[in-house]
Amino acid sequence: MAVITLKGQPINTVGTLPAVGSTIPDFLLTKSDLSDVGKHDFSGKRLVFNIFLSLDTSVCSASVRRFNEAAAKLDNTVVLCISQDLPFAQGRFCSAEGINNVVTLSAFRSKSFGQQFGVTIIDGNHAGLFSRSVVVTNVGGVVLYTEQVPEITQEPDYEKALAALK
């Protein structure tokens, strides 16, 4: 379990992020066309997992915009923007914002993702949503970098996450 805060108030997650040097677990998430994808669908690609509460918050939407800009400059890398938002909402957001360099994925069908990655918030008003986190892997799925943002209202350290890909 990890302790993070929301406006200074402590809240807990179900576990901890995968450790640097470990291999990410397989996962099942849903794309905007309602098809399901897993780890094997991104085989041979470096991955940046941008995990967050909801696109309906300013910090979460800012992280998607920022990673969308960065993704256009990354070779052999896929940025996965993951939340509990429905695929329809994710699609509307991306259309309205001109987001087309990241892959939005929803965990609405598979609650195991939050458990496997240790990001599901287990108490407070945000219970069931994901903590703001970033996980970066190499082409073999080995974790190069992780960050669970300690205060939900803060953005992740984009520079450190992207530097892990160099």
Q: CA 156, CA 101: separation in Å to the nearest integer? A: 19
Given 29, 60, 103, 135, the catalytic residue: 60
Q: CA 127, CA 97: separation in Å to the nearest integer?
A: 28
SS3 73: coil
Type and span of the H or E element at 89: helix 87-97
| Three-state DSSP state, 115 | helix
Asked if 60 is an active-site residue, the reply is: yes
Give the residue numbers marked as catalytic: 60
